[in-house]
Homo-oligomer: A and B are copies of this chain.
């Protein structure tokens, strides 16, 4: 008998797809019908089919028809309206605390500066920013720049690259000199899912504010910002929220901080009375004070189609499918990739794992180049990490299996 010992995975993928309550949602995305395998929804989510029509309709009817009147009629409120909806559906944030705007980098800059100023003003010895050594470059680079310009000190948390900042590491890093802790909810490299409630409490026990980077969790992992008593959060909308290439980011500031936090990029849209255009800047009440320039209306339209899908599916069901997808991917990897020397650089425990898994092998850079040519699209991160992003709304189990078999072939070819 020469049966394929991995044929069992075909049966399993079929069964999992057949039983998947979100299977039909996949058809809502452009390209669902193609044979392309997409393992990078954690970096740039696929567009929902509804988005092309939404944008074209906006251009002709709203922009072209309402013209400047659109600002008064709805656009001025759009960053708050979409922010509130995102907060309710995916972030556990009550209304009035979430806004869409700028980029992740710019919003992190504003909120880090705001938090550092508030804490170091309240207590001049609080001049330390705690951040993970393995965090996403923007987070680290921003902290470097802010520390240099404000005379703050960086406390780097050294982490295992297959994990992230955990409770023990954070406890050892914070203290009476800590102003703000910047943490990643899901590690961009390993997919490690932090225990946000516990880490937030550790930061608070030390008298610090905490700023969560939700880029790799928002839309795939349930977030409970109000419940966890988080102070500040920033995240990305072009990954699991499918906002399109370079879509604006979101920021959350807990209501209790609105009166005391101010950010340094003082623009007209953050002023108390935008159209008074008065002689001096006075920050607006509430979340508006965290805006600077004109809200990127056209750029924040697309994400609404995914919010529709999240509202329909529910974030709990999305997380259930996400765990099932990453579980399946790890089993397939153990079955067909481990024998080729591929190791898993992501947590085995689903409670510690976000929506992507990272598979390591020295040949993964070359493997990625080969796979892209064959319409199998993961991405690559040094050192030797192939990231398998499994966006729960747009990825099937069969697609996952097809893709991992292609990875096996490519590893064989490049080894």
Contacts and interface: CB of A to CB of B under 8 A. Distances in A.
As for how many copies of this chain the complex holds, the number is 2
Contact of A382 (B30, B133, B137, B276): B276
Contact of A246 (B67, B133, B299): B299
A280 to B, nearest CB: 7
A268 interface: yes
A70 interface: yes
B47 A60 contact: yes
A277 interface: yes
A341 interface: no
Interface stretch (A13-21, A37-45, A121-129, A407-415): A37-45
A42 B403 CA distance: 51
A381 interface: yes
Contact of A244 (B31, B63, B103): B63
Contact of A106 (B71, B75, B292): B292
Contacts of A271: 137, 141
A137 B292 contact: no
Given A55-B52, A266-B145, A276-B382, A296 B105 contact: no
B294 A103 contact: yes
A269 to B, nearest CB: 7
Interface of A: 29-31, 36, 38, 40, 43-44, 46-47, 51-53, 55-57, 59-60, 63-65, 67-71, 75, 102-106, 109, 133, 136-138, 140-142, 144-146, 149, 238, 244-249, 264-271, 276-281, 292-299, 302, 372, 377, 379, 381-382
10 closest A-B pairs by CB: A103-B293, A30-B64, A105-B293, A105-B267, A299-B299, A145-B266, A141-B281, A245-B297, A244-B298, A246-B296
12 contacts: A31-B64, A31-B65, A31-B67, A59-B244, A69-B372, A104-B294, A140-B279, A141-B281, A142-B266, A144-B281, A145-B265, A246-B299
